[in-house]
Structure 1
């Protein structure tokens, strides 16, 4: 256990005349571990994830067991708010993956996908994994030959959607771009099995099955030939609190998702900066910035949409977590 982080968040709720809704636990930042802390908070407040994790079997000294111990520590705290150390969990991460076995700044998206993949592998060793049940959707890429009009489909599972971003757009625009048809011609022609040769074609990707929890990763880091490094796209990308998915192949399309967590990056680039998470608990947004916790208002959420400037260090929404609210 660490020192108390209660002063700000307790004052926020005292000013509202309300009690803190549930345990709000800060996590110490030990040598650039904000990338992990932001992911831990986003997963801890994912009910579908936390309930499955805490009821799962786990092998001794596994990532699953260390994460269970960490979540139990956060859940069972007798104080509504305080600071804890995730040292044992981070040490296990470093033992399992040499990429994180240092004190460098790391990418929270890369860490999130690795954690989910590692948990999936470990859970399968002791029974059935539920990771795909919670996070996996299925996309289908269609290739339509423009000569014979035959359609070829290729399906694959996705744990998250990595979406391109442009200045002054929205998450909806990025999703529409993801599913927008693309012409395949000249050197990029498609080999049609029915024509037995390469032909001009149209390619498009649609979402066939949607997950319980939809993770949208905004691709804010782009390699710059000019600077010979990854630079950050500070683009202002608005994202809604409720997301309706229309570009699907499911019979019951138009499913509605509710935004419950945002991982934010501030700083100039891929290898330098800071991560924090904003989590919606009941009707309140809470900002978890390592060991500092405060209530966030709607203006703060809009502020992290990004900046009118193309590049810079502004805090920007980076990973968005949406929970399915209508399951038909």
Structure 2
């Protein structure tokens, strides 16, 4: 659990005349698992997620949820406020259940996050428990499709656990959300089958958020496949994201929520096969950086430095997954 002297995070708080408000424990990275470490830290500092998980009665100990619960309980009851923890038991169970992660390769943290959330949701349902995972992360969007011949409008509702947003150079989360809901014309081979007309017709379609989640996860699509290079390349575009957010792409009667940024998973390096992940979280009004076993307090101004670059530099640190909590 670390050395005998004060850790970096302890020195950071000493310099500003404060005591550590809670335990800040880093994670070992022996098998290229920074992609998972960053996710586990972000979820740990999602207060509602931590509370529900720790208090959950688990029927079987042979689950991801039981291993994650054990890890989090060990963290909050640790005698030391700083140090390094092992996530070996959690990752061993994840690797058994998903062969994609059963190796030492570098993986995509977003892929791991979504798999983990869905797995926990499945385990809750399997033991007959109410799914607080859905309660926290699930939202609903509706796709509106208007036939340009008869003007009839159809609606199709779907649930989501996160929003994957396209990015452009010098854009923002708000502009990406707006593009997510732009009107698209369906024509040619993509014509829409209209039930009223009983044939395929040109149509206009758009997707709007109908029921926003309590925890909003925004995934920035920073990796794009290059046919020329035959591999995924990183889009290090500068994408600004605010500390507070109101959704601008909702249906008219959608309940309005104000969101506050509380965690961000950052990607460094030229691509997800070769890069590195770390988490920056907000805890008791302070921003803390978790880079595997290295933990430090950082200034809020650092957030602007992870927006990306206005130049085509593939290795700069970029915000990749954003976690917002609804404040009302």
TM-score strictly above 0.5: yes
Q: Give the TM-score normalised by structure 1.
A: 0.96
Equivalent of 1:261 in 260, 263, 267 = 263
Shift of 1:253: 4.1
Shift of 1:252: 5.1
Equivalent residue for 2:311?
309
Equivalent residue for 1:50?
50
Q: Which moved more, 1:82-91 or 1:104-113?
A: 82-91
Equivalent residue for 2:80?
79
**Counterpart contact for 1:4–1:82, Cα < 8 Å:** no
Give the Cα–Cα distance (whole angstroms) in 2 for the partners of residues 6 and 155 of structure 1.
53
**Counterpart contact for 1:26–1:84, Cα < 8 Å:** yes
Q: Does 1:221 align with 2:223?
A: yes
Secondary structure of residue in 1 paired with 2:30: coil
Secondary structure of residue in 2 paired with 1:104: coil
Shift of 1:60: 1.5
Shift of 1:224: 0.3
Number of residue pairs the alignment of both structures matches = 326
Equivalent residue for 1:211?
213
Give the Cα–Cα distance (whole angstroms) in 1 for the partners of residues 287 and 244 of structure 2.
14
| CA shift in 2, pair 1:4/1:105, >3 Å | farther
| CA shift in 2, pair 1:252/1:229, >3 Å | closer
Q: Does 1:17 align with 2:17?
A: yes
Query: Pairwise CA RMSD of aligned residues?
Result: 1.3
Q: Give the TM-score normalised by structure 2.
A: 0.96
Give the Cα–Cα distance (whole angstroms) in 2 for the partners of residues 216 and 278 of structure 1.
15
Shift of 1:187: 2.1
**Counterpart contact for 1:5–1:81, Cα < 8 Å:** no
Give the Cα–Cα distance (whole angstroms) in 2 for the partners of residues 232 and 37 of structure 1.
21
Equivalent residue for 1:69?
70
Shift of 1:54: 1.1
Secondary structure of residue in 1 paired with 2:263: strand
Unaligned runs of at least 5 residues, structure 1: none
Secondary structure of residue in 2 paired with 1:298: coil
Unaligned runs of at least 5 residues, structure 2: none
| CA shift in 2, pair 1:265/1:6, >3 Å | farther
| CA shift in 2, pair 1:75/1:268, >3 Å | same
Shift of 1:127: 2.0
Secondary structure of residue in 1 paired with 2:31: coil
Shift of 1:4: 6.5
Q: Which moved more, 1:245-254 or 1:6-15?
A: 245-254
